Structure 1
Amino acid sequence: MCMVQDGTKVLLMNRPDKLGFPGYIAPGGKVDFPESIVNGAIREVREETGLIIKDIIYKGLDEFCEPEKGLRYMVFNYLATSFEGDILENPPEGELLWVEIEEALKLPMQDWFKRRFPLFFEQGTFEMSFVWNEKSNETLEKTIKNYGVGQFNHINEQ
């Protein structure tokens, strides 16, 4: 996932229900083998928005584990602070909208994205891990760490 920032605004897409994860979200997607994680993020932004990002910062990792299925889903998060090009007129993943950062959380979005959103704009990097039971849709354990400049915050809950 890559948040694209232009001054006090970010570029979000409004994903329709039919594509899954409906609501406003940053561009992102799967990494194509054998491309690197960062090159996958750059490609996804280009495909979904038309923008060619230039300055990109690694912000953190968000993972979701489902023990009964042996599933681990990892999201590598980036912040792009400069880009070239114009946004697509007919984007494939949903309508694109430049939104003031301070207003973005008022938009409809997935809870997991809402939780992650402010971390893109804090110093340092973050790491979040959630173990959940898909059948009961219950979080069994969560670990949240923020590796800021000169600080370390850690929350581990079960």
Structure 2
Amino acid sequence: MNPNHQLFTMCMILREDKVLLINRPDKLGFPGYIAPGGKVDYPESIVDGAIREVREETGLIVTDIVYKGLAEYCEPKTGLRSMVFNYLATSFEGQLLDNPPEGELLWIDREKAIELPMQDWFKSRFPLFFKQGTFEISSIWDKDNNISIGKTEKHYFESEFEHAKPNR
């Protein structure tokens, strides 16, 4: 079986202490509240894909965007590896769309957002957007039984690499 790779982005938008989330309806899949994002078009760069997806889904143009980490899901039976590159945007231009294509847009206090209905995988990833450093999550997914059969999670902080600097 030849592996098949899909690249996606997700971008949490933070304004003061509020985040912008999309309330996705059931008919679009992944129902509940989620950050903007979607598929990266070939051959655009990953960060350009994140900026484009935010613009298409919200109307906003992010101007300050920081890479936060990678979440990937592997399905051994199908050979599919989905990689989601996660970003945090702290400044933007433009106005929210009147009729957003992915669902209702909501600015909500960051601390209250976790109480909204959302997919378990997004709820567990949500706090990682606001922690220092970056993260890497790799899950092996049994699609037939809708369960994770393996997971690796790592968090990286700049201070961990201070010891690696050569003495001069």
Query: SS of the residue aligned with 2:38?
Result: coil
Picking from 11, 15, 23, the partner of 2:32 is: 23
Task: Report matched runs for 1:4-153 at 5 Å.
Answer: 4-151=13-160
* Matching residue's letter, 1:42: I
- Normalized against structure 1, the TM-score is what? 0.94
Matched residue, 1:155: none
Q: CA deviation at 1:137?
A: 1.9
- Normalized against structure 2, the TM-score is what? 0.88
Q: Percent identity?
A: 71
d(CA) in 1 for partners of 2:38, 2:77: 24
Q: CA RMSD in A?
A: 1.0
Which structure's CA Rg is the greater one? 2
TM superposition outliers: structure 1 runs of 4+ over 3 Å: none
Query: SS of the residue aligned with 1:81?
Result: strand
Q: CA deviation at 1:136?
A: 1.8
Q: Which blocks of at least 5 consecutive residues in structure 2 are unaligned?
A: 1-9, 162-168
Farther-moved stretch of structure 1 (141-150 vs 52-61): 141-150
Q: How many residues align?
A: 152
